Every structure is written in C-alpha cells, then in structure tokens.
C-alpha cells in the first residue's frame, strides 16, 4: 500500500489516543465453557463434560469485539446497540463499566434477549455451540431511542463504525439516518457489512466487505485480480463510497478509490493460524487511524499490519497499540 516512516507512524498512533469512536451494531457476548470429557452419557450417545467454575469465561463478541480492538489501540469506543432485559444484559453493562466505558448506548429491548453464543469445549476440542438470540429487525421505538442517543453524542465523537451481523439492529431506515447525520456533521463513517442490508450503506468514507460477502452480494466469483478489481469498482459506483476495501483472508486485501488505481497487498502475517476476528481488527484500525488524521492508504496499510498480527493467534484476539507499532517498524524492514 504505502510505506509509513517511523516518525509518521508515531504521529498517527499518538493522534489516535483517546479518539472517541462510536460503534453501532449487533452486540453479543461470547461465553466459553472448558471441561474434561469423562464418559459417554447413558441417556444419549453424547460426551459428558465436567466444568469447574474457573473454566468459564465471558468475552465481548460481535460489534463489541470491535470495541476490544479500539481499546487495544488506545482509542475510546462508545458501544451502541440493544441488549435484553435479562441477566446477560446486566452482565454486559457490568463488563463495560469494568473497562471504564459508558453503558448509556445499550438500549434495553424487552422483545429480545441479549445475544449469547456459548461454546462448549471438552479436552481442548470444540464440542458444541449454543446460541441464544432473536434475529428480527428492531422496532420503530428502539430505532428512535438509538438514533436519539447518537444525535446526543455526535458532537463528541470522531468517527462512527457501523458493524452489521444481520441480527436486526442496523435496519435500513436507521442506517440512512445515521449516515445522513454523520455526513452533515462531517464525521467519518466506516462500514463492516453483512448480506441483508449490503447496499443500504451509501455515501460512507469506507465500505469494508470480505470476499465471501462481496461474492454473495454481486452474484459473481472473485477468483482473479481482474474479477476483484471489477467488483471493487462496481461497489464504489453503486454505493458512492469514498473507498471500498475488500478483505481477502490469507491473501490480504484490495483498496479501491474513485479515479485511482486499485491497490492490492498480501497479508502481513508471518504464519496464518486463524482469521477469525481479523475483520473486526481491520475496521477498528482503519477507523482509529482515519480519526487520527491518517490518509486512507496509510489507514489501510496499518490495518493490514494489524490483521497480520492477530491472524498469527488462535481465536479472536484484539490488536494492541504496541503490537501494531512493532509490526510496522520491524516487519516493514527489507
């Protein structure tokens, strides 16, 4: 993409510290239960897993995992979305308070539970996943409460991330209202889309789908640089986006801007162990860097380094400020 001089890198990273980034989307909790398989159940041919209290962990998931990355970069995320009127919603609020983040953007929706993904792991193997969620568009009253909160925050934030997981928060009318408000107030908007509302995110600074999402939305195979470039330019025109960034998994990413040549770059990972969570890292890093005053190419370059770091780890691991600095300073050397 672009070489970033160490002095410029330090300027961008310092400039991003404390920037307030509003993250709007589908909030989730990821729950992990680790145990030992002792025997097969006499009731059904399934393993019995013994789990101790200390073998349970709850982490932020979905749009909330983007917040983990913003925290790691030393920005200040403000999460906006829905939780249920249940114990898990209260746990979500407590977790935010523990991270010294404001919970005011959590809108309680009595019609749906807090989204919870429980992963059961026995003898270090993933045995099952249990999802507790309701996938329906939020109603007009919840939309209104979310938008009023964003209106009240807009003067105090530096960028907005719209993080869609197709769970029902980012409905078309709310999306259009948020983008219109942000553009009128000259705030950066970046988008990590999913299939359902893919073409609703018009007039944003950056639209970041992955390869699979792009293929599904455009009904075309992205099996060559030429097809990827054609898809990127189609999205630019159709969405009137400032830039389109298509992430390509272990192949890296491709950046498209109007009247400029496509920019392809391979992954910066030394060895790809796990790409889960890398998309969250990319959108968080791009938004952090743009809020800090980076150019689009600088922001995308930093995001590519950040994705390379987290792809070397197993599981959804957020990027850290010092990790990214080190990766750019040392991996960019010949």
According to DSSP, the β-strands at 115-122 and 27-40 are parallel
Which listed residue (30, 158, 164, 280) is catalytic? 280
Sign of the alpha-carbon torsion through 32, 268, 320, 64: negative
CA dist 30 and 47 (Å) reads 22
In the chain, DSSP assigns E strands to 20-25, 27-40, 47-50, 56-62, 76-83, 106-108, 115-122, 125-132, 159-163, 188-192, 206-207, 243-247, 253-257, 263-265
Q: How far is CA 213 from CA 202, 217, 321, in A?
A: 16, 6, 29
CA dist 17 and 24 (Å) reads 20
Q: Among 273, 264, 284, 333, which Cα is nearest to 309's?
A: 273
| Six-digit token string for 94 | 């407590």
Q: Residues with Cβ < 8 Å from 236, sequence gap 6 or more?
A: 243, 244, 256, 257, 258
CA dist 288 and 282 (Å) reads 10
Helices (H), ranges, 51-127: 63-72, 87-98
Is 280 noted as a catalytic residue in this protein?
yes
Give the residue numbers marked as catalytic.
Answer: 280
């Amino acid at each position: 993409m672009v070489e970033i001089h160490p002095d410029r890198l330090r300027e961008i990273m310092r400039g991003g510290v404390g920037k307030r980034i509003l993250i709007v989307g589908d909030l989730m909790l990821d729950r992990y239960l680790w145990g030992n398989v002792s025997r097969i159940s006499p009731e059904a041919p399934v393993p019995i897993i013994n789990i101790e209290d200390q073998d349970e962990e709850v982490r932020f998931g979905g749009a909330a995992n983007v917040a983990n990355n913003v925290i790691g970069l030393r920005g200040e995320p403000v999460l906006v979305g829905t939780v249920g009127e249940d114990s898990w919603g209260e746990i979500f609020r407590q977790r935010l308070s523990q991270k010294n983040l404001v919970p005011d953007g959590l809108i309680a929706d009595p019609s749906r539970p807090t989204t919870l993904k429980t992963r059961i792991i026995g003898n270090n193997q993933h045995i099952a996943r249990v999802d507790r969620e309701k996938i329906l568009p939020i109603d007009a009253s919840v939309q209104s409460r979310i938008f009023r909160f964003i209106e009240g925050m807009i003067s105090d934030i530096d960028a907005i991330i719209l993080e869609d997981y197709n769970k029902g928060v980012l409905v078309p009318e709310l999306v259009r209202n948020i983008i219109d408000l942000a553009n009128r107030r000259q705030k950066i908007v970046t988008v990590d889309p999913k299939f359902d509302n893919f073409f609703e995110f018009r007039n944003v600074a950056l639209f970041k789908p992955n390869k699979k999402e792009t293929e599904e939305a455009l009904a075309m195979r992205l099996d060559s640089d030429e097809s990827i470039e054609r898809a990127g330019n189609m999205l630019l025109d159709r969405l009137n986006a400032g830039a389109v960034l298509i992430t390509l998994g272990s192949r890296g990413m491709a950046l498209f801007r109007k009247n400029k040549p496509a920019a392809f770059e391979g992954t910066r990972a030394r060895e790809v162990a796990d790409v889960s969570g890398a998309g969250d890292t990319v959108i968080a890093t791009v938004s952090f860097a743009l809020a800090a005053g980076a150019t689009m190419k600088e922001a995308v370059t930093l995001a590519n380094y950040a994705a390379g770091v987290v792809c070397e780890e197993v599981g959804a691991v957020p990027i850290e400020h010092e990790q990214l600095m080190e990766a750019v300073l040392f991996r960019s050397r010949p």
